[in-house]
Structure 1
């Protein structure tokens, strides 16, 4: 009952926040609409009052919320504050574009996952099960969607013949589908290759081989054995794809729901923004439900058994796994140390200067040294990312200690892509570094809470803990004197592994204009400016691309090096993956 109540409260909270957006925002909606309708009209009290009366803002928050809620139920969520037209038809048209793009991206993801998994299947059938394709999968996984999209725009605009902007035919979907599908396919393939390698070590595979089952039969059985345990993770990856589509649509100027949502947030068209967010969350929830249905179909009658056996093999990491993170960290350190002595705020007459000895990465539209700006952004990003990570650690541990009460909140948080959270925070507080930090914190604590809950359950089952009540120890003393000290160091390591992923998430929000504002030296902002000018000066995107790619590689390789073995915790397999993604 507590779990069900937690879920209901979490869902109701999301609906309440979205419905109350016009009143939660610290900006006057009437003023925003006046500026959107006529930039030259003076914002007199009479003009603002007329707009409030026209929009129904004078009815009060409760009345407006009830009207919005009943409108959602009846299929009429309201009219646009900017155009005066119903918001639902335009949002559905944009959603259709986004779903089409995600469909193409899914084809790419499945193809990449198959290519990554096939070597593991072949190795298992030869009797030498091992994880294969890790380097390729890690390289694909290490590229967040906004970063890969920026790189593909550079390639498409400068060297490739594919159109880089717009949505006027199938050829316009090639680059966006690659940007969205390659990271998802790499991650799914990496997880599935690990699970297949573990499954091939189980005794039943040897029994089937001796009994004369064919290789295709064994391969299908192994795949069916490995997939159910990964269904929820695949669902999370698909949910993350919803958020990634926002960045991809912005980069490639695709008129999808993600780009529409960003535009409505910037113009403060809150009725349109409300339905945009509801549709994005609905797509995320639908993908999660589809993953759960797939898991149940794969399990079949085994779903009703009390305990499902889980692959529990162990693969130890080698010292060579530390080479890539050390190299990536070294590159970042060299760039930062080289740029710190320079002045990243000084403007010169050398606008869009090409890379040279004086300016190793060139200059931007204002003539500022890009190497210096990247170094300044590194210090700011590291400090903010560390603060967000530590805050997420505290929240995750505290809520992980009450798993039944927090489970619904964890599920709802996992169903909300970070970009959607960032848009909500920006609509309430406006774009800022603090708002971006809060948005990333909201989605970062959930995996840490789930990890804490699993470890607490496992720790309580240990003999030296289970005997403490008979010795007279109170529940509080057991929890804070024995369980938390045993759990906290493990969760702390997990949180630190997520630090580069947190930095990437902050950069993504900055790239979308939801984080720090100019002239702040933020990696996302610098990359966004570089992509906008890529046709005129491709090198402007080189510095932020190089730094963010190094950071992404560090995130993936660090997670791979520190989670080189699959660890069984009670009835779940626990594995930390990179890029801020929970597995």
Structure 2
């Protein structure tokens, strides 16, 4: 029974395990660096990201502009730093909508079973039957571009995977001796569900979420590339890549710099996800 009660999220040793994992430590360091850049953008950015200077348009990387300038003369380094804000904020909104919604549906379906489970799982199957990116693009096309609409478009088609995973684990835990012992001491209903089942379901949900984060970043960049993301002139990496494709053969840095930022951020979350899988999944210990 002790093996079921204890899980990797308990105790301060979790941080030490992250530091001992090379991939998790490297991914965490890069993610923290990007987060610091986003939070300190007004202090770190050398120029106003929306300042247009036509005399400096399409300048190559130099001492004055480390990453060069775009077609409007805006400093690319400043726009990359501010673009991290848009990407991480969109990512935060998606995480706050997608994971809690899916986990809640899965917990309720797996715990109560019967007609409740059948109804919730059929709804889940209907949502999963649609291609996620196609549904996201259709949603943004209908509702219009914007940060909130982009977050809703990316999160609403993505929660069923968390629901199905949480339902399977909750159904297995419902028949365990651990929950039977908790019910014998008077812990029942919602208190049992969210006080004892949820903590045991969270590790696997965190692993899936970490794995999905890089895909969410690429999907968000895809929305921006198609003009369905954050509204201009707000800096956004996908939109910056789209602008750079118009001059990619002569001024390659306009598209390469934001593309490299997307690559590094996705790689960081992939490394973090790989490390978290080794730490939180007992099958990889």
TM-score range (shorter-chain normalised) is 0.7 to 0.9
Post-superposition offset of 1:536: 2.8
SS in 2 for 1:427: helix
Post-superposition offset of 1:437: 1.0
TM-score by length of 1: 0.40
State the partner residue of 1:342: 47
1:325 maps to 2:39: no
1:383 maps to 2:89: yes
- Contact 1:531 1:541 (8 Å CA) reproduced: yes
SS in 2 for 1:543: helix
Post-superposition offset of 1:397: 1.8
1:495 maps to 2:209: yes
- Contact 1:389 1:502 (8 Å CA) reproduced: no
For residues 464 and 363 of structure 1, the distance between their equivalents in structure 2, rounded to whole angstroms, comes to: 61
For residues 533 and 408 of structure 1, the distance between their equivalents in structure 2, rounded to whole angstroms, comes to: 48
Residue from 445, 450, 455 that aligns with 2:169: 455
For residues 555 and 492 of structure 1, the distance between their equivalents in structure 2, rounded to whole angstroms, comes to: 12
1:334–1:378 Cα change, 3 Å: same
Task: Tell me: higher relative CO, structure 1 or 2? Use CA pairs within 8 A at least 6 residues apart.
Answer: 2
Residue from 233, 253, 257 that aligns with 1:543: 257
For residues 187 and 31 of structure 2, the distance between their equivalents in structure 1, rounded to whole angstroms, comes to: 46
For residues 219 and 169 of structure 2, the distance between their equivalents in structure 1, rounded to whole angstroms, comes to: 26
1:530 maps to 2:236: no
For residues 272 and 102 of structure 2, the distance between their equivalents in structure 1, rounded to whole angstroms, comes to: 21
Post-superposition offset of 1:493: 5.9
Post-superposition offset of 1:389: 0.3
Tell me the number of residue pairs that the alignment of Structure 1 and Structure 2 aligns. Answer: 255
Post-superposition offset of 1:546: 1.5
- Contact 2:90 2:150 (8 Å CA) reproduced: no
State the partner residue of 1:562: 276
- Contact 2:30 2:265 (8 Å CA) reproduced: yes
- Contact 2:23 2:274 (8 Å CA) reproduced: yes
Post-superposition offset of 1:472: 5.2
1:525–1:461 Cα change, 3 Å: same
Q: What does the per-residue CA deviation read over 1:528-559, in whole Å, with 9 as the maximum and x for residues that have no partner?
A: 11122212311111220111010111122111
SS in 2 for 1:563: helix
For residues 492 and 501 of structure 1, the distance between their equivalents in structure 2, rounded to whole angstroms, comes to: 15
After TM superposition, list the pairs within 5 Å mapping 1:117-156 onto structure 2: none
RMSD of Structure 2 on Structure 1 (CA): 3.0
Q: What does the per-residue CA deviation read over 1:123-170, in whole Å, with 9 as the maximum and x for residues that have no partner?
A: xxxxxxxxxxxxxxxxxxxxxxxxxxxxxxxxxxxxxxxxxxxxxxxx
1:344–1:452 Cα change, 3 Å: same
1:549–1:372 Cα change, 3 Å: same
- Contact 2:145 2:231 (8 Å CA) reproduced: yes
Post-superposition offset of 1:504: 2.9
State the partner residue of 1:352: 58
- Contact 2:211 2:270 (8 Å CA) reproduced: no
Give the gaps of 5 or more residues in structure 2.
1-16, 111-116
- Contact 1:468 1:478 (8 Å CA) reproduced: yes
1:344–1:561 Cα change, 3 Å: same
1:365 maps to 2:71: yes
Bigger mean CA offset, 386-395 vs 321-330: 321-330
For residues 408 and 474 of structure 1, the distance between their equivalents in structure 2, rounded to whole angstroms, comes to: 27
For residues 334 and 450 of structure 1, the distance between their equivalents in structure 2, rounded to whole angstroms, comes to: 35
Post-superposition offset of 1:515: 1.5
State the partner residue of 1:406: 120
- Contact 1:332 1:550 (8 Å CA) reproduced: no
1:319–1:480 Cα change, 3 Å: closer
Post-superposition offset of 1:357: 1.0
Post-superposition offset of 1:334: 8.2
For residues 478 and 322 of structure 1, the distance between their equivalents in structure 2, rounded to whole angstroms, comes to: 32
Post-superposition offset of 1:463: 1.0
1:334–1:430 Cα change, 3 Å: closer
For residues 93 and 232 of structure 2, the distance between their equivalents in structure 1, rounded to whole angstroms, comes to: 22
State the partner residue of 2:8: none
Bigger mean CA offset, 510-519 vs 546-555: 510-519
SS in 1 for 2:169: helix
1:394 maps to 2:100: yes
- Contact 2:140 2:228 (8 Å CA) reproduced: yes
SS in 2 for 1:345: coil
TM-score by length of 2: 0.77
Give the gaps of 5 or more residues in structure 1.
1-315, 576-583
For residues 96 and 102 of structure 2, the distance between their equivalents in structure 1, rounded to whole angstroms, comes to: 10
1:323–1:469 Cα change, 3 Å: closer
1:565–1:417 Cα change, 3 Å: farther
